[in-house]
Structures are given as C-alpha cells and as structure tokens.
Chain A
Amino acid sequence: MTHAVMCEDLWKTYQLHRPLGVKTLLLGADTPRDTRFAREWALAEVGFQVPRGRSFGVIGPNGSGKTTLLSILLSTVQEDRGRVSLSGRVAPLLELGAGFHGDLTGRENVFLFGSILGVRLAEIRRRFDNIADFSELEGAIEQPLRTYSAGMIARLGFSTIIHSPADILLIDEVLAVGDASFQAKCHRALREFRARGGTLIIVSHNMKEVTEVCDEGICLDLGRVVDAGPMAGVAARYQERMAAADRAQVRGGALGKP
C-alpha cells in the first residue's frame, strides 16, 4: 500500500455535553446552555491522503478541528461517519509530560511511557541506552522527574517517542522542544524517521516550521478542509486570510467603541 494515512469523508459531531450531575438531575439545568461551540460539525467531509515517508501539515485557526482530527487518527475519539485507514503503528507525541509521573525517575518514566505507547518492555530495554543518549540527560536519568526542568521533560518525551517502533507519528504543537541545538537534533531525527519510511502528521501554528518540515498539508476552518496542496502555498494563503481578517477587525475596532 502506498498510502500511510487515508481519510475519506470524515464527519464528527460533539454533542453539547455537560457532565450530568445529581444537581442538574434534581434541579434541572438552570444555567443557559453553553452555545459557544454549538456548531453542527466538529469535522465535516474531511478527506486526505498521505503517502508513506511524507510529512503532512494540518493548520487552521483555534477550534477548527485539528486536534479532533488527530484524536480520530489516534482512535482516542471515534468518528461518526467516514473511513480512516492507517497502515502501520501510530504513536502520538503527547503534550509535555502527559503520561509522566514526577515521583518516578527518568528511567522508570521511559519504561512507563513506552509501555503506554504500546512498546514491549523487552523492546524498551533494548533501546533504552539510545533513548537516554538522545535525551542528553546523562546522570539525571536516575533522578526523580520532579527535579527536571520543562525542557528536560520534553527532551525525554521526545526521545522516547522517536525511538518507539512507530510508522506514523502524530505531533500536536510540540516541536518546540528544548534549545536551538536540541531542536535541530529533533528535526534531524524526524528526517531520519521519514527516510526510514516513517510518516509524520503535524499540527502547528508555527507557519515557518510547518513549511520547512511538511511537503503537503491542509487548512481546516470550522471543521472543513478549506485549502489543500503543497504546504508552502497552503500556509501562505492561510496567513493572507488571517492578515485580511485582522485588518477587518482593526477597522471594526476589536475592542468595541469606548
């Protein structure tokens, strides 16, 4: 199969759900319904294909459905309609420190986190030295995670994931890891990952980065694909639209009249 990721006609709606409480059951919902996100579809007829070994960007304003899309690819959220087919193992690049625990050492966290990603213990053991080397934590790997800085945690998370035997990596806004030299290292690792036939799907608001890393991409707005094609063009047109919207807002007075 040439395509690593294929989505066809994806639809997803979130019911306007508020966790039900006994209070609401007994007293009724006396507060007005939250209608801020009340649109019919979180995703509507979204479709795209990503060939193996490519890198695919997903951009769009806040609330346009980017994270919903990644969650569906990861199968932590179920689509209502449509078809997703993934060839290979999917691994998520979690947000900073999710799945980590402060009282465990760096080493223990690598094992726990790897296991959460579905990697076997034997496999983690085999790759552990590479993970530790890549993270550049050295002696700190035996210290509890709560003594780490945010940058150290991010480095450990990134090295664990990049060494997991995944074919498809989903990355949600977490490329800005560590200092410039570590970032360069991450990008090198991602390039190698793709050279091995790995596929990347990246959600980001950083247009420069997305353009550098991704070959192709889509732009979502209100759950629909509004633009698709080579990443540079999609990103440039998106920035133009945003700038135009910005100017319109400035003319209209973003803060209202005094």
Chain B
Amino acid sequence: MFDARQTLELLYLLVKKELKVRYKNKFLGYVWALVNPFAFAFVYWIAFKFIMRLEIVNYSLYLITGMFPWVWLSAGMVAGTRSFVVSASLIKKAPLPRAILPLGNVAQEMVHFAFALPVIIAFLWFAGEIRPSASWVWQVPLLLALQLAFVYPLALGFALANVYVRDIEYLVGIGLSLLFFATPMVYPITMVPEAYRRWFELNPLHALMQSWRSVFLQSTLDFNHMAYAAACAAVTGVIAWLLYRKLAPRVGELV
C-alpha cells in the first residue's frame, strides 16, 4: 500500500512533528538541544582535567567531538526502542510500514545533531583553534550516513524485542550508560592498559566515535575505523531485517 515515496513523505512528517513538538512553547527551544551534551562534557572536564588533573592534550575538544555523536546515538536508541510500544494505537489502527517508526526517532536525533554542528564547529574554532575545513562539506554527511546506518538497525531490533519483552527499554538505557564508560569517551584509548587495549578496539562504538574525531580534529577520514563500523552496521542490518520480517506481522496484536 505504501510505495517508497509515500514512506519517505510519512517519515518526513513524523520527524517534522517531533521537532515541532519538542521546540514548541519552549523559550530556549534550540538551546535545549545543545545543553545536554555540553553539560556532560563540562562535568567530565571538571572531573578529569580540573580535579584529577589528567594530562590529556586538547581534552575539551576530545570530549565535545565524542559527546554530540554519542547523545544522538543514545537518544535515538532509547526513543527508537520504545517506538512500537509508544505508537501502539497507530500500529493497531493503521497499516503503515512499521519499520519507519524507529527510523523516525533515529532520524530526528540526527537532525538535532545536525542543528548542533555550527556550535560544535564554533567551539572547535575558539577553544581549539581548529579552522573549519572545506572537506567537512562531504566528510560530515558521509559520517551522518554511516552513523544512521549504524544506529537504525539496532533501534529497529530492540524495538521489535521490546514488544515481546517490555524490560528491553530499561536494559537498553542501562546498557548505554555502561557502554559510555566502556567506550573511550571521557578517556583516550591510549590510557587503557596495553593488555586490554585490543578488546577496547573491538568495540564498534569506539570505531564510530574515532571516525567523528578524526574528521573534526584532523579533517581526515579514518578509513579503518569507518570500515569496521560499516561492517558492524551491515551485520546488524541483516539481523534486524530478518527479525523484522519474522516478527513485524505479529507486532499489531502484541503492542
């Protein structure tokens, strides 16, 4: 019933709705999207740079360049996981393509991230004297696509699982908090003892974050990490697609 164009139009309207709802009636609208990542980065900067006095070069830049993609990832995952349960009435009453509900959440968080880009760039410029690079014009969209392809299958898979086992949404939240510290986000991977470092390197989230840092801090593509993240995205993509084909028809009677 839905062709590709109708699906994209519906996705566009769903994302637009969420953005509008989030920014409506809020005086500081846009600012709220920035406060969260900055507040977290500030707390870690105080804790590690000021109190524990770790010697990390350009620590604030390292924090900020990881924090914004992370907030997109984790907010998209949490909202995406809940998407089927939250939209139960819609799923029961309208034959819309169900897979676009979590995609809407992840895409919406991507838009927030994109809105924050000017502020990230300004921060890099003023705090790190990193001048905006022309190659960002194509590097950043490439990474946006990579992260979207990485996060969406995860959100879809967890959304399906959450219909069957409702605790998944809490487990996802807790898992993300643990992963935040298991991923080199507030510390560089070089601080991890050498014996364990290769295990940390296996973490695809680390590969994704390094890809962003490489673009923001050096204006270069980190091909190894990008390829690894893309490979993981492909694997989870196939798994999520198989799960969707198998489980989606019953979602209507279970939500």
Contacts and interface: CB of A to CB of B under 8 A. Distances in A.
B218 interface: no
Given A14-B253, A118-B96, A111 B13 contact: yes
A228 interface: no
B90 A104 contact: no
A74 B96 CA distance: 10
Contact of A120 (B9, B21, B163): B9
A75 B1 CA distance: 11
Interface in A67-98: 71, 74-78, 89-90, 92, 94-95, 98
Interface stretch (B41-49, B164-172, B181-189): B164-172
B17 interface: yes
Interface string A106-125: 00100110011111110000
Interface in B157-214: 163-167
B94 A108 contact: no
Given A21-B166, A95-B93, A101 B9 contact: no
A19 B166 contact: yes
A7 B3 CA distance: 25
Contacts of A74: 93-95
A57 to B, nearest CB: 20
B90 A98 contact: yes
Given A21-B167, A89-B1, A115-B13, A98 B96 contact: no
B17 A101 contact: yes
A71 B13 CA distance: 25
B246 interface: no
A101 B165 CA distance: 27
B17 A108 contact: yes
A189 B54 CA distance: 73
A229 interface: no
A99 B13 contact: no
B53 interface: no
Nearest to A124: B9
Nearest to A144: B24
A17 interface: yes
B224 interface: no
Given A76-B93, A76-B95, A115 B10 contact: yes
B93 A112 contact: no
A26 to B, nearest CB: 10
Contact of A98 (B10, B21, B89): B89
A180 interface: no
Given A19-B166, A20-B164, A20-B165, A92 B94 contact: yes
B90 A99 contact: yes
Interface in B77-101: 89-96
A1 interface: no
Contacts of A119: 6
B92 A76 contact: yes
Contacts of B5: 120
A111 B68 CA distance: 32
Nearest to B24: A103
A117 B90 CA distance: 10
Given A14-B253, A19-B166, A89-B1, A116 B17 contact: no
B21 A104 contact: yes
A104 B18 CA distance: 10
Interface string A23-35: 0000000000000
B13 A112 contact: yes
Interface of A: 14, 17, 19-22, 71, 74-78, 89-90, 92, 94-95, 98-99, 101, 103-104, 108, 111-112, 115-121
19 contacts: A14-B253, A19-B163, A19-B164, A19-B165, A20-B164, A75-B95, A76-B252, A89-B1, A90-B1, A94-B93, A95-B89, A95-B93, A104-B17, A112-B13, A115-B9, A116-B10, A116-B94, A116-B96, A121-B9
Interface of B: 1-2, 5-6, 9-10, 13-14, 17, 20-21, 24-25, 89-96, 163-167, 249-250, 252-254
